[in-house]
A and B are shown apart, each in its own frame.
Chain A
Amino acid sequence: MTPPLIKPKPRNPVRALRRPTLPPPARSRAALRLTAAAAEGRFELQHCCDCGTVQYPPRSACVTCLSTHLEWRETDGVGELIADTVLHHSNELYYRERVPLRLGMVRLAAGPSLLAHVHGDCGSAPTPVRLRAHLDKSGQAVLMALPSQDTTNMADDPMLREMTSDPKFRKVLVTDGKSAVGQAIARAMIDAGAEIVWAGVAEPWKQAGGLDALAKLPQIEQVTLDVTDEKSVRDLAGVIGGKVDILINTAEFHRAHGVADRGTETAHAEMEMNYLGLLRLAQAFGPAMQARAAEGSVPATAWVNLLSIYALSALPSHGTFSASKAAAFALSQNLRAEMRHAGIRVVNVFPGPIDDEWNQLLPPPKLAPAALAGAIVKALREGVEDVYPGDVAQDIVRRFRESAKVLERELWDQ
């Protein structure tokens, strides 16, 4: 029975901060496909197109028939734990700090046997289990065997917590807590058990509906934050930066503007907030978050970027906005490469049109702010790093992967 996570006591400031260590990150190119699938919450293995054999560990040619037509497909994690052990010793610093830990061999119904972490609530071998792929602290896929049915406090298993970013007991910064999306996310974080949600407000003299109701929640703390102002970002980081566990960057400037219009000021405003705003936040908040990524039982854990599905392929009617989101996307990959040293998960969210004033003229389906917020909470809980919430986002990413050029043409008619 997994004991429930208890609210951590304040850190003893006299003791040294535990520095982040990481599990072994090296993987072959073929094995990185496991990571690519786990990044989106899927468990995939290679299936031979010629003889059907499911392969593990990842191979370059089929173990049965030598075919090189091996296709990565989502695979059922149903299996049996056929042997298990408790590791009391490891040569790896990261694991040395985390023993004792359970490992086991899982024989999948699909065929192969996989070495995996074993959740504390799984029985001893032999016992049925579900296998899932998760990104570990190095950002690479590892396997975890879970009990066949969900158990109480299942999410609080220490190894599973290493690979997820549950908002429970965390301190969260929502950089724009005033917009409809920001407010929905703030509420969703509180409902998910966050201890504090700092709601960033850039222009306090500009009113917005809903802020008063939000301000009444005891976990909410309104803070001044303008991501276009370097000093504003640094000042806030100076005050709360050392406490932020999850940073959710919702600050966004969005107009329906493109090359057919006149002037660069709209594009400039979009870049200033959507791209350079991210850069300012990363420089000001990144280092402190990284330093605290291994602190206690509820460390700093995730950085969430609200991007747009049109970061992948521009929506011409919102051309400059798409460009600014594409710039932010590229920068977020830079951020992810930086944050990997500390094991902070950078989560990119690529919604389609949100049901707000800036997407008024776009046809449905549009994503409600509450639905977007729910998708973000889910991604944090599941340890997923690339999120495509809503029907439009799912549709576009599918088309993008089939052919980016065909998608480009299809977006002409949007």
Chain B
Amino acid sequence: MSRASYDGVVIAAPVTIPYVRYSTRDAHWFLGRALAALVKRAGVKKDQLDGLCVSSFTLFPDTAVGLTQHFGLSPRWLDHIPMGGASGVVALRRAARAVQAGDADIVACIAGDTNHVDSFRANLANFSRFARDAVYPFGAGGPNASFALLTSYYMRQYGIAREDFGKLCVAQRDNARAFPPALLRKTLTLDDYLNARPIADPLRLFDCVMPCAGAEGFLVMAEERARRLDLPFARILGTIERHNAFPDDPIQIRGGWALDRDDLYAQAGVGARDIGFAQLYDDYPVINVMQLEDLGFCEKGAAADFVRRNSFTVGGTLPLNTSGGQLSVGQAGAAGGYLGLTEAVRQLTGQTLGASVENARHGLVSGFGMINYDRGLCSGAAVLGRA
């Protein structure tokens, strides 16, 4: 059975609730603000939102269900996506099919988290059964150790150097300087990157995202509905999703995208070379590199060469994480999985908060996440197009 297209369904109204390093507020507060921003942006009444999709790490003991009563909504379609950095792409996929099938008219997709002074440790303690049994007891401090191992392996296997990772980080920091909501906007030099405080060899401070509090959101609706509301929108050209790909790889060297990217580009009717900018999920630079390879920008193992031959600022040969990515904006929990989408929509509708990529017709958004034990299980990607 071939995949149905997304004709007639669009993504609109990107909202960002400003990030803060620490907040005494709860996730409900940030999500509520995202919802309010969507309502205002779309110029609709709250009860016109008849679909709701939520992602959050700090909403416990609530899920999307509790939020319906909390926020006074009575949706006819409801979903809760616990997929970390892949949540945005997956929420888009779910919401788009619901709208296409007529199960909902306007779906609000929101992701947000708070960050208390010890949120990070409290979340880690109960992240997953495998993490609790096989990672946390080693003091691994979240995904840092797993990605240190992965990075070290990658470097040894494919000859990619810290300078190559550094180049990506420096470019993203450059992109962040123009993006007001970014928490880290101080210039980052390659030297700063290379000599930063060690976290877990070979990872240093600027290889790691900064956890923070905040929220992101967008709406999914039929194209005619967007036009009637006078809402700028972007088209959904293709999407993919895959979980627990390549389980027999002894260490994660490729994600689900490697399995499904041909399908993605076939749906979208474009190739990697047509992509005007890429919002790749950047929890660690090595994952950026993995996505560049697995999404077809270069061959597997050729990323070092690719990185050296290209530039990744907003004005570069492949604009990457044009608002700065999580590495410079910060990771507001599950909202990290949405920030690529909201930035992509802004770029494609000409409504950027920071610098704009010129003449971009197609944007790629990629998501990744949920380090259950030793690898990220969830992956997804979407190709969006200018209207």
Contact = CB atoms under 8 A, between A and B. Distances in A.
Interface residues of B, number: 38
Given A27-B132, A31-B133, A115-B374, A91 B251 contact: no
Contacts of B198: 86, 88-89
Contacts of A95: 138-139, 141
Contacts of A101: 139
A125 B153 contact: yes
Contact of B132 (A26, A85, A142): A26
Interface string A135-152: 010101010000000000
Contacts of B102: none
Contacts, number: 124
Given A83-B152, A115-B374, A91 B138 contact: no
Interface string B121-140: 10011000110111111111
A115 B152 contact: no
B224 to A, nearest CB: 46
Interface of B is mostly: helix
Nearest to B373: A57
A333 to B, nearest CB: 22
Interface stretch (A103-111, A268-276, A362-370): A103-111
B200 interface: yes
Contact of A89 (B125, B133, B146, B200): B200
B327 to A, nearest CB: 17
A23 B200 contact: no
Nearest to A80: B250
A107 B140 CA distance: 18
A92 interface: yes
A207 interface: no
Contacts of B142: 91
A88 B199 contact: yes
B150 interface: yes
Interface string A263-307: 000000000000000000000000000000000000000000000
A125 B152 contact: yes
A400 interface: no
Contacts of B137: 23-24, 27, 136, 138, 140, 142
By size class, the interface of chain A is 35 or more
A153 interface: no
Nearest to B156: A125
B148 interface: yes
B139 A90 contact: yes
B297 interface: no
A57 B198 CA distance: 28
A27 B198 CA distance: 29
Contacts of B124: 91
A120 to B, nearest CB: 14
B377 interface: no
A142 B373 contact: no
Contact of A85 (B133, B136, B201, B373): B201
Interface in A10-56: 23-24, 26-28, 30-31, 56
B137 to A, nearest CB: 5
A86 B132 contact: no
A229 interface: no
B120 interface: yes
21 contacts: A24-B139, A26-B132, A27-B133, A28-B129, A31-B134, A56-B134, A57-B130, A58-B133, A85-B200, A88-B200, A89-B198, A89-B200, A91-B121, A91-B124, A92-B136, A92-B139, A98-B139, A104-B149, A115-B138, A115-B149, A125-B156
